[in-house]
Amino acid sequence: MRRAAGGAARAAAELRALQDLRTAVGSARRHDARVRRAAGISGSQLWALDEVAHAEGLTVNELAACLALHQTTASNLVNALVARQLIRRARDRNDQRIVHLHLTAEGARLLTRAPQPCSGLLVDALRRLAARDLEKFSRSLALLLGAMRQAAPAAAGELFLAE
Protein backbone atom coordinates (compact mmCIF):
# COMPACT_ATOMS: atom_id res chain seq x y z
CA MET A 1 0.00 0.00 0.00
CA ARG A 2 1.34 3.41 -0.97
CA ARG A 3 -0.06 5.40 1.92
CA ALA A 4 -0.23 4.91 5.63
CA ALA A 5 -3.62 4.51 7.27
CA GLY A 6 -3.56 8.21 8.28
CA GLY A 7 -3.41 9.13 4.61
CA ALA A 8 -6.61 7.31 3.71
CA ALA A 9 -8.75 10.43 4.08
CA ARG A 10 -6.27 12.40 1.98
CA ALA A 11 -6.27 9.70 -0.73
CA ALA A 12 -10.07 9.67 -0.78
CA ALA A 13 -10.14 13.46 -1.14
CA GLU A 14 -7.63 13.28 -4.02
CA LEU A 15 -9.75 10.69 -5.80
CA ARG A 16 -12.94 12.73 -5.32
CA ALA A 17 -11.24 15.82 -6.72
CA LEU A 18 -9.87 13.85 -9.66
CA GLN A 19 -13.29 12.38 -10.40
CA ASP A 20 -14.90 15.83 -10.19
CA LEU A 21 -12.35 17.22 -12.67
CA ARG A 22 -12.97 14.30 -15.01
CA THR A 23 -16.72 14.84 -14.74
CA ALA A 24 -16.39 18.56 -15.53
CA VAL A 25 -14.12 18.00 -18.53
CA GLY A 26 -16.17 15.05 -19.79
CA SER A 27 -19.41 17.02 -19.51
CA ALA A 28 -17.89 19.90 -21.45
CA ARG A 29 -16.69 17.51 -24.16
CA ARG A 30 -20.09 15.85 -24.42
CA HIS A 31 -21.76 19.24 -24.75
CA ASP A 32 -19.30 20.21 -27.50
CA ALA A 33 -20.03 16.94 -29.33
CA ARG A 34 -23.76 17.67 -29.04
CA VAL A 35 -23.18 21.16 -30.47
CA ARG A 36 -21.22 19.68 -33.39
CA ARG A 37 -24.02 17.19 -34.15
CA ALA A 38 -26.88 19.67 -33.84
CA ALA A 39 -25.31 22.83 -35.26
CA GLY A 40 -22.49 21.53 -37.42
CA ILE A 41 -19.91 23.83 -35.82
CA SER A 42 -17.62 23.53 -32.81
CA GLY A 43 -18.52 24.79 -29.37
CA SER A 44 -15.91 27.55 -29.71
CA GLN A 45 -17.44 28.66 -32.99
CA LEU A 46 -20.92 28.65 -31.45
CA TRP A 47 -19.73 30.77 -28.53
CA ALA A 48 -18.08 33.23 -30.94
CA LEU A 49 -21.25 33.37 -33.04
CA ASP A 50 -23.32 34.06 -29.93
CA GLU A 51 -20.96 36.85 -28.84
CA VAL A 52 -21.26 38.49 -32.27
CA ALA A 53 -25.05 38.21 -32.03
CA HIS A 54 -25.08 39.93 -28.63
CA ALA A 55 -22.57 42.64 -29.53
CA GLU A 56 -23.31 43.39 -33.16
CA GLY A 57 -20.38 45.15 -34.82
CA LEU A 58 -17.63 44.07 -32.46
CA THR A 59 -14.09 43.66 -33.79
CA VAL A 60 -11.95 40.53 -33.84
CA ASN A 61 -9.86 41.95 -30.99
CA GLU A 62 -12.99 42.59 -28.94
CA LEU A 63 -14.20 39.07 -29.70
CA ALA A 64 -10.84 37.66 -28.63
CA ALA A 65 -11.19 39.48 -25.30
CA CYS A 66 -14.75 38.16 -24.81
CA LEU A 67 -13.58 34.59 -25.42
CA ALA A 68 -10.27 34.93 -23.51
CA LEU A 69 -8.39 33.92 -26.67
CA HIS A 70 -5.34 35.12 -28.52
CA GLN A 71 -6.28 37.39 -31.43
CA THR A 72 -4.96 34.87 -33.96
CA THR A 73 -7.20 32.11 -32.57
CA ALA A 74 -10.23 34.42 -32.62
CA SER A 75 -9.37 35.37 -36.20
CA ASN A 76 -9.34 31.69 -37.16
CA LEU A 77 -12.79 31.24 -35.57
CA VAL A 78 -14.06 34.27 -37.50
CA ASN A 79 -12.61 32.94 -40.77
CA ALA A 80 -14.47 29.65 -40.27
CA LEU A 81 -17.74 31.44 -39.46
CA VAL A 82 -17.39 33.75 -42.47
CA ALA A 83 -16.67 30.76 -44.71
CA ARG A 84 -19.92 29.17 -43.48
CA GLN A 85 -21.71 32.50 -44.08
CA LEU A 86 -22.78 32.70 -40.42
CA ILE A 87 -21.17 36.10 -39.89
CA ARG A 88 -19.92 38.80 -42.22
CA ARG A 89 -17.15 41.37 -42.00
CA ALA A 90 -17.73 45.07 -42.67
CA ARG A 91 -15.10 47.80 -42.75
CA ASP A 92 -15.57 50.80 -40.47
CA ARG A 93 -16.79 53.83 -42.40
CA ASN A 94 -14.42 56.21 -40.62
CA ASP A 95 -11.36 53.96 -40.37
CA GLN A 96 -11.04 51.34 -43.10
CA ARG A 97 -8.44 49.45 -41.02
CA ILE A 98 -11.14 48.45 -38.53
CA VAL A 99 -13.35 45.49 -39.38
CA HIS A 100 -16.66 44.90 -37.62
CA LEU A 101 -18.41 41.54 -37.33
CA HIS A 102 -22.12 41.07 -38.00
CA LEU A 103 -24.46 38.12 -37.72
CA THR A 104 -26.04 36.89 -40.95
CA ALA A 105 -29.58 35.56 -41.26
CA GLU A 106 -28.15 32.04 -41.50
CA GLY A 107 -26.12 32.66 -38.33
CA ALA A 108 -29.26 33.80 -36.52
CA ARG A 109 -31.13 30.67 -37.66
CA LEU A 110 -28.29 28.45 -36.45
CA LEU A 111 -28.35 30.12 -33.02
CA THR A 112 -32.07 29.39 -32.63
CA ARG A 113 -31.54 25.65 -33.12
CA ALA A 114 -28.18 25.28 -31.35
CA PRO A 115 -27.95 23.51 -27.98
CA GLN A 116 -27.74 25.81 -25.00
CA PRO A 117 -25.71 27.24 -23.41
CA CYS A 118 -23.97 28.70 -26.46
CA SER A 119 -20.94 29.64 -24.37
CA GLY A 120 -20.46 26.02 -23.33
CA LEU A 121 -20.99 24.30 -20.02
CA LEU A 122 -17.79 25.47 -18.32
CA VAL A 123 -18.23 29.16 -19.15
CA ASP A 124 -21.91 29.03 -18.25
CA ALA A 125 -21.14 27.37 -14.92
CA LEU A 126 -18.44 29.95 -14.12
CA ARG A 127 -20.90 32.75 -14.91
CA ARG A 128 -23.43 31.23 -12.50
CA LEU A 129 -21.02 31.16 -9.55
CA ALA A 130 -21.29 33.89 -6.95
CA ALA A 131 -18.33 36.29 -7.10
CA ARG A 132 -17.01 34.99 -3.76
CA ASP A 133 -17.17 31.38 -4.94
CA LEU A 134 -15.62 32.22 -8.30
CA GLU A 135 -12.66 33.90 -6.58
CA LYS A 136 -12.21 30.91 -4.27
CA PHE A 137 -12.36 28.53 -7.23
CA SER A 138 -9.85 30.63 -9.15
CA ARG A 139 -7.41 30.55 -6.22
CA SER A 140 -7.81 26.77 -5.95
CA LEU A 141 -7.15 26.32 -9.67
CA ALA A 142 -4.05 28.50 -9.37
CA LEU A 143 -2.79 26.19 -6.61
CA LEU A 144 -3.46 23.13 -8.76
CA LEU A 145 -1.70 24.64 -11.77
CA GLY A 146 1.25 25.62 -9.58
CA ALA A 147 1.59 22.04 -8.36
CA MET A 148 1.39 20.80 -11.94
CA ARG A 149 4.14 23.21 -13.01
CA GLN A 150 6.36 21.89 -10.22
CA ALA A 151 5.81 18.29 -11.33
CA ALA A 152 6.21 18.89 -15.07
CA PRO A 153 7.33 22.43 -15.92
CA ALA A 154 7.56 21.75 -19.66
CA ALA A 155 4.02 20.40 -19.94
CA ALA A 156 2.02 22.31 -17.33
CA GLY A 157 0.61 25.76 -17.73
CA GLU A 158 -0.01 25.68 -21.46
CA LEU A 159 -3.13 27.52 -22.52
CA PHE A 160 -5.72 25.26 -24.12
CA LEU A 161 -8.43 27.84 -24.68
CA ALA A 162 -9.70 26.77 -28.06
CA GLU A 163 -9.18 24.40 -30.90
User: For 118-124, what is the mean pLDDT?
Assistant: 95
Tell me the C-alpha distance between 64 and 69, whole Å: 5
Position 162 scores a pLDDT of: 43
Whether 154 maps to a domain, the answer reads: no
Whether 156 maps to a domain, the answer reads: no
**97: containing domain:** 11-128
Whether 160 maps to a domain, the answer reads: no
Q: Is 120 left (phi over 0), alpha (psi -120 to 50) or beta?
A: left
Position 150 scores a pLDDT of: 87
Average pLDDT along the chain: 91
- pTM, two decimals, is 0.83
How many degrees, rounded to 5, is the angle at CA 157 between CA 28 and CA 62? 65
Whether 104 maps to a domain, the answer reads: yes
Structural domain tally of the chain?
Answer: 1
Whether 34 maps to a domain, the answer reads: yes
More confident residue, 7 or 78: 78
Whether 117 maps to a domain, the answer reads: yes
Q: What CATH number did the domain enclosing 107 receive? A: 1.10.10.10
Whether 149 maps to a domain, the answer reads: no
Whether 85 maps to a domain, the answer reads: yes
What pLDDT, in 10s, does the model give residues 26-76?
999 999 999 999 999 999 999 999 999 999 999 999 999 999 999 999 999
pLDDT over threshold 60, residue 2: no
pLDDT over threshold 60, residue 121: yes
